Structure 1
Amino acid sequence: MNEALWLVMLLVNFGMILLFFRLFGKIGLFLWVPIACIVANIQVIKLVDLFGFSATLGNIVYASSFLVTDILSEIYGKKEAGKAVKAGFLSLLSMTLLMTLALKFVPATDDFAQSSLATIFAIMPRIAGASLMAYLISMFHDVWAYDFWRKQFPQDRMMWLRNNASTMVSQLMDSTVFTLVAFAGVYPSGVLWQIFWTTYLLKWAVAAADTPFLYLARHWYRKGIIE
């Protein structure tokens, strides 16, 4: 059941990115990055069983932001991709501050949401701190690496190489930093190790699967479908 849902979520994420791009162009890609950052950092709290292993949810949504920066790098250049990274960072920082403040309010007698919000957002500062560190390191590396590989292999037919070469290394960096900072001491070492490898392998699978969508986005742009 979880595996089927994982595939559905994969298609929904890529489909939404292309829809945002088709409807709003470059601005749509900028809009998706904050959505991915916020949703992923809520979903990551949930631990699920996938393909026989324990993994945190949110891997697909978060990994989809790498597709966005690769589209931006390919079509609009390194500078525009960097702007999207900064937008995602500020959106996650803003959510963390706002929800931390929200939890400080004393709830009314008839309130029913405080405990549920606390369950999700009380640990958010640690999760968000880990995510912010991992996000900045991995995403700026991805933007740099894509530009580097594009200069080495500028041919159109080599876009799959620069896409995967940049993303897969960046996601390894992301998984390492995030898992250690967010979950060290929270889960037993065996579970922590399992979370790290499953997180990375799932992100690796997302990176491999997003390549056709990158080609489609570039095709739309060159055909003048996207302004």
Structure 2
Amino acid sequence: MNELFWALMLLFNFGAIILAYRFWGKIGLFIWIPIASIVANIQVTKTIDLFGLTATLGNIVYAGSFLVTDILNENHGKKDARKAVGIGFFSLIAMMVLMNMALWFRPGADDFAQESLVTLFSPMPRIVLASLIAYGVSQLHDVWSYNMWKEKLPARRFIWLRNNISTMISQLIDSVIFTTIAFFGTFPTHVLVEITISTYILKWIVAVCDTPFIYLASSWRERAELMESR
């Protein structure tokens, strides 16, 4: 059943991104970045079995943020893509500080949430540190790489190539950095290696599946420019 739920989450994630872009343009994509950053860093604390591999949850939501920066890069330029990366950084730091401050408060006699919050957010500083480093390095690489390929192969028919090359290499960088920093010493070495490999494979699948959506976003942009020129 995990595989079915994973496929459903994949469709919902891409659908939400493309709807946000359809309704609110690049502002919708800027809104999605903190949603993805926060949700992915909560989901990643859950380990699941998927396609016979041990994996962490959150891969779909996090990998979707690369679709967001690629759409921004393709349709609005490198500056807006970098702005989205900065928004993601800020949202992660704000969440870490606010949720860890929430744990300082003494719970009331009728409170039922404290233990769950401690379980979820006590390891958050290490996970957020791992996420910030991995997110910064991989996303900035993705923005740079996508823009480089866009300059070398500017034709629309090559969107799939620059999208997949930039994202797949960036996802590999992200998976290695994040898994090593977040989980080293927490899991046995063989589990850590399995999580790294499975995480990358799943993100690679997400990267391939997002290609039709970036073409759709590109066609909307071209149509909007056509209408503006009339």
Where do 5+ consecutive residues of structure 2 fail to align? none
Listed one character per residue, the Cα deviations across residues 176-223 of structure 1 (whole Å, up to 9, x for unaligned) are 000000000001111100000000000000001000000001111111
Name 2:195's counterpart in structure 1. Answer: 195
Please show how residues 59-78 of structure 1 align to structure 2 within 5 Å: 59-78=59-78
Q: Give the CA RMSD over aligned residues.
A: 1.2
Where do 5+ consecutive residues of structure 1 fail to align? none
Q: Does 1:22 align with 2:22?
A: yes
Helix, strand or coil at the partner of 2:200: helix
Helix, strand or coil at the partner of 1:7: helix
AA partner of residue 203 (structure 1): K
In structure 1, distance between residues paired with 2:198 and 2:179: 11
Helix, strand or coil at the partner of 2:224: coil
In structure 2, distance between residues paired with 1:89 and 1:63: 15
In structure 2, distance between residues paired with 1:179 and 1:18: 29
Please show how residues 136-151 of structure 1 align to structure 2 within 5 Å: 136-151=136-151
In structure 2, distance between residues paired with 1:105 and 1:141: 40
Identity of aligned residues (%): 60
C-alpha displacement of 1:110: 1.5
Q: TM-score, normalised by structure 2?
A: 0.97
Please show how residues 1-227 of structure 1 align to structure 2 within 5 Å: 1-224=1-224
In structure 1, distance between residues paired with 2:109 and 2:123: 24
In structure 2, distance between residues paired with 1:79 and 1:140: 11
Q: TM-score, normalised by structure 1?
A: 0.98
In structure 2, distance between residues paired with 1:112 and 1:127: 25
Helix, strand or coil at the partner of 2:194: helix
User: Which contiguous aligned blocks of 4+ residues in structure 1 show a shift greater than 4 angstroms?
Assistant: none
AA partner of residue 212 (structure 2): P
C-alpha displacement of 1:165: 0.7
AA partner of residue 135 (structure 1): Y
Helix, strand or coil at the partner of 1:120: helix
Q: Give aligned pairs, total.
A: 227
